[in-house]
Every structure is written in structure tokens, then in C-alpha cells.
Structure 1
Amino acid sequence: MLDQVLPHEAAAVSRIGAISDLWSDLFPLGLLDELRAHPFLAACRNHTISEEALQQFLVQHQYYSRHFTRYLCAMMASLPSTDDVRELSKNLVEETGLDTPGGITHADLYLKSLKLLGVRSGSRPAAPETLKLIDSMYRYCRSEDVLDGLSALCLGAEAIVPIIYGAVIEGFKHFGATPEALHYFVLHVEEDEDHAIVMRKILDRLLAERPYRLSKVQAIAQEIVKDRMEMFDAVLLQGQAS
């Protein structure tokens, strides 16, 4: 449980490319290692990734990530506690840029990164694997069982951001990307585990009431992470074909 792992929330800040031990009990054994070792992420980290594959990733990831606020709203609709809705609304406020005067949405921040990295939005069609990931996220976030959406968003999206974005940042740095161009990714590495911790607290309460449901949480985490790795497979394949 969360209070057994961390003395306070500030201790949960992850280093780029790594996630804290906070999540180890919720993911199936070996799944995070498999994600970290995926050929796309490994190639980003060791600087053997092609620029075309990185550009493919940017386009495919935008198809997925531009739905994020909708995933979140759909999941929040099933939360039984208004206090939980309020806590998760802070994530929504950040995503929409309402947390700072004159702030811009994270979707617009992503578009800015695309432009600075020389990639046009929608310049490649959405891969079937990307559409599968989007469908899986909507299916779970729209479920009447809030455990489904929490598992998909907390474990399949927010908690794994340092592993994915940390590698992507390294890949783009190899090609001379500026800090401004990578701001979107660095920002989410800094913020997303905090969002995941809020969801983790809700998951902990639900699992305290019904511990046997942990197997369902882990199954959903595995499905979403596997779907994401299939999207990475498609990114590499298209990167090689171009």
C-alpha cells in the first residue's frame, strides 16, 4: 500500500528513465522490465534509433495522447467519491492549461514540440496498433467498474511515463533536439507520477476492501502495456520501411 512505501508524496519524484518501487506490487512480475527492454525504447537509450522512427512515434503518440482528457473524464464519471473527483480534477486542470495564467493546453504543448522537431501532425496515418491502444483505453475508462479505468490510466499511462519519455528524450537529444522542443516530455516526467499517486491511493482503498481484485488490476495493466508495446513495434516497422 502507498503509505507503506512512501513517507510523503514528495518522495515519489522519479528520475528520468526510471520509476519508483511504488508500483512494483501492482504490475505483473517482469512486465516493467519487458517494457524497458522493448527494442524501440532500448534503441532510443543507446542512440541507435533512426530519426524517422522517432518521428513515427511522435505522430502515433499524438493520435493516442490527444484523447487523454477524455479518458480521464470518462473514468472520473464512475468515481463514487466527490473528494476523489476533486483530486483528479487537478490533473484535468493541468492538462487544459488552467493551472497557470495564460497557460496553454498540453495538447498544444505537444503540437509545439512537433513543430520544433520538424514533424507535421497527422503526417502519417494512425497505425492499427495505435487505434487498438486507443480503443482499449476507452473501453476500460468507460467501464462502470471504476477499477478498470483506474488500472488502465494509473498503470497503463501515468506510472510508466518515465520509462517511455525518458527513452524518447534520450533519442531526440542524440539528434540535437533543444530543451524547448523536449519540454512537453520533460514536463510529463516531472508531473505524471504525482497524478498516478492520486489514482494509486484510490486503488489502494478499493483493493483494501476486496484484495482478490488485484489480479484484475494486474491483468488490465498487462493488456494496456502490451498494446503500447505493439504500437512501438509498428513505429519501428514503419521507421525501417520509410
Structure 2
Amino acid sequence: MNTAGSYRVHSLKLGPMDNFLYVIEDVATHSAALIDPAWDLDRLIGLCQDHGLTITHVLLTHSHGDHINALSQAVERLSPEVHVLRAEAEFWGQTPEGSVLHEDGDEILLGQTRIRVIHTPGHTPGSTCYDLGDDLIAGDTVFVYGCGRCDLNGGDPRAMHASLMRLQKELKPHVRIHPGHNYGIHENSTMGEQAAGNPFMHFDDVEAFVHYRMVAHDQTRNSPYGPEPRQKS
């Protein structure tokens, strides 16, 4: 897999919902992928121009409007390859013509940078994280000491529990998590920090997780979210 020196992750915080928008830079070729183009396409393009990058790809973590409201502009102006998980395309029903549809475990090649597609349902049926090796673009699956809502159309708290348990199992502790929103006390974090302090990752029992995600959490916590110790069973 890639080393952190073979790619760079750039970010902008845009829009009224504190979205993080990301640009992945392939160092060798100066090609770039926009992750979830939304709110201000000119700012994203300007960031790429400032670093001498050519935008060739758009990768979608999911199809909610606050993550894709500049997608049509990006397609029209940049003619990029658009990548989305097949399950999300089927849920969404409005995937741009010619998009590349993926299954879990596929790899996307951006220049010389390999990006692994991880299907992480829960926030939506086809929510996707993008694994770069030392960094994870997490969309609305994992926030800093939080996780995405499961009460919107297509949400499924049991699927979210499985997705969080999978990420915690598969990713090494040093992997840096880049969330889709600025809801935590830090802009990003590591998987090790999340495994230790993210309460959504502390549930072995799925039904207890469902109750916490759907009922108890919003009654007991407010952003910005910080770490919480694992409760003794």
C-alpha cells in the first residue's frame, strides 16, 4: 500500500454544516481527486491550482446533499472520473452518467496512489471510506469521537455498528481518520485514539449500540465531541 510520502491529503472546511472537503494529491504525477465536492467548487479548484495539481477524479463517500451539491458543476467543468459504490448508486438513483461503480475492496488508481474502497453502510446503504494506507477518508461513518446519524433515509444503526467494528479491526492504530464534518475537539484523529475514546466503538452488544445511537447519545452529549473512557461491563 502507499506510504504517506507518496500522496498528500489537503482539506477545506466549507458550508454551514462544517463539512470537511478533501483533495488527495498524488505526489509523483500531480494528479488530484476531489472527495465529495460541495459548497464552493472554486475554493477546491483554487486549492488544487495553488499546489500545481490537475483534477482527474471525484470520489463520493455518499450521496447526501451537503456532500455533493457541487458535483454537477464539477462534472461539467472538469470532466473527471466519478467513483461511487454501486450500493450507493442504487440507493441514490442519480449517479452521473459514466460513473465508475465499485464494490467493497476495489482499488482506485490516482496516478501512482492506490485507494482502497471500503463499504461502510450505516449512514446510508452505500457509504464508503477511502483507505490510503496511512490515512482514511471517513465521510460520515466516523467522526472525531462520534459517528454518523442513522435516522435519515437509508440509515441503519445495526449496519453502522458492524462498519465501526470492521474499521476498528482492520485499520492499524496509527491510521489518521479524516471525517466528513468538524464535530470534534480536533479536526482529525487516529484509529487508536478513536478505539480508545470514541464511545460508539465501545459496544460489543449491537442492541446496546442501537439504543445509544438512536436514543441516548443525543440526550447526553453535545459537540464538540471529546474522548470518553470505555465503560466497564
Q: Which TM-score band applies after superposition, normalised by the shorter structure?
A: under 0.3
Q: Determine which structure has the larger strand proportion and give its number.
A: 2
Higher relative contact order (CA 8 A, sep 6+): 1
Give the TM-score normalised by structure 2: 0.25
TM-score relative to the length of structure 1 = 0.24
Between Structure 1 and Structure 2, the one with more helix by share is 1
